[in-house]
Amino acid sequence: MSQTGGMQPEDRPARETFDTVPDVYERARPRYPAAMFEDLFALLPDHPHVLEVGAGTGKATRDLVERGAHVDAIEIGPAMAAKLRAVVPNHNLEVTVGNFEEVPMRKRHYDCVFSATAYHWIAPAAQLDRPAELLKLGGLVAIVDLIQVDSPTDDGFFAAAQQIYERHGRPHTGPPAPRRDDVDGPIRAELEADSRFEQVSVRLYDWDQTYTAAQYRDLMVSVSPILLMEQNARQGLLDEMEAFIGQHFADRVTRPLVAALTTATLAT
């Protein structure tokens, strides 16, 4: 992937790297469980007005509008926003390019502030302060996190692959992947500790995804730590990982995932 101008990927904030690969992101990233949206819409009024934060290329947006929501989508990347408009051409969708923390929005206007696999990029204070300002009283904050878990459904791939990541300077950092039974919504504790919100709940959905070696390569290209690598180093990592999957895992790997839907209502 060629670079334009003098800016290198590592010079950009990590959350803005996705804007360099909107087509890959749309192709590689999974959508979300239908059951999750059924549960979400059971908590909302008919034809809700939803503010979606970090809509990306519309992996969740299309489910929102297909179920009758009017969606105001905030997306920080211009190229991602353009892809969103192209893949979700719907009169009930309005897309704004900007930073959720800063974009002026109507207060007490929304039935739901929703975000799927993007809210961790938002400044911690704004994660609660902005919904508290923008939601109608009794409105819903709904945050989706797609969490990779420690599960035998991966046939040992992720443990075996760590040596490749380490060899290319991308070792795993942070806590180990949780077991399915231990998954929690990352924002649950913050919502429970904030008196502005009540009725906090976390719903979990198994959502394993299986990839060919080429598809897993695409998925890696859609992840910010890989995008932040220098081009030749990234190419070496991708080439070795694709060959490893082809040679040792019969060209198929399963990524064990749980989708966590954390919801809370704004106290009245």
Banded model confidence at residue 107, pLDDT cuts 50, 70, 90: very high
Q: Are 105 and 51 in contact (CB under 8 A)?
A: yes
Task: Give the pLDDT of residue 13.
Answer: 74
Which residues are bridge partners to 115 per DSSP? 53, 143
Q: In terms of CATH, what superfamily is 9-266? A: Vaccinia Virus protein VP39 (3.40.50.150)
Q: For residue 146, what pLDDT band results from cuts at 50, 70 and 90?
A: very high
What is the pLDDT confidence band of residue 7, given thresholds at 50, 70 and 90?
very low
C-beta pairs of 148-152 under 8 Å, 24+ apart in sequence: 148/177, 148/255, 148/256, 148/257, 149/177, 149/178, 149/179, 149/180, 149/183, 149/256, 149/257, 149/258, 150/176, 150/177, 150/178, 150/179, 150/256, 151/179, 151/180, 151/208, 151/256
pLDDT value at 4 more than 80: no
Residue 228 CA to its chain's centroid (Å): 18
pLDDT digits (tens, 9 = 90+) for 162-197: 999 999 999 998 899 999 999 999 999 999 999 999
Whether the pLDDT of residue 153 is over 80: the answer is: yes
Residue of 238, 87, 67 whose CA lies nearest to 165: 238
Whole-number average pLDDT of the chain: 94
pLDDT higher than 60, residue 151: yes
pLDDT > 90 in the chain, percent: 93
Using CA atoms, how far apart are residues 216 and 57, in angstroms rounded to an integer? Answer: 19
pLDDT per residue as tens digits for the range 48-86: 999 999 999 999 999 999 999 999 999 999 999 999 999
Residue 11 has pLDDT above 90, yes or no: no
Tens digit of each residue's pLDDT (9 = 90 or more) over 199-258: 999 999 999 999 999 999 999 999 999 999 999 999 999 999 999 999 999 999 999 999
CB 58 within 8 A of CB 84: yes
Mean pLDDT of 13-28: 93
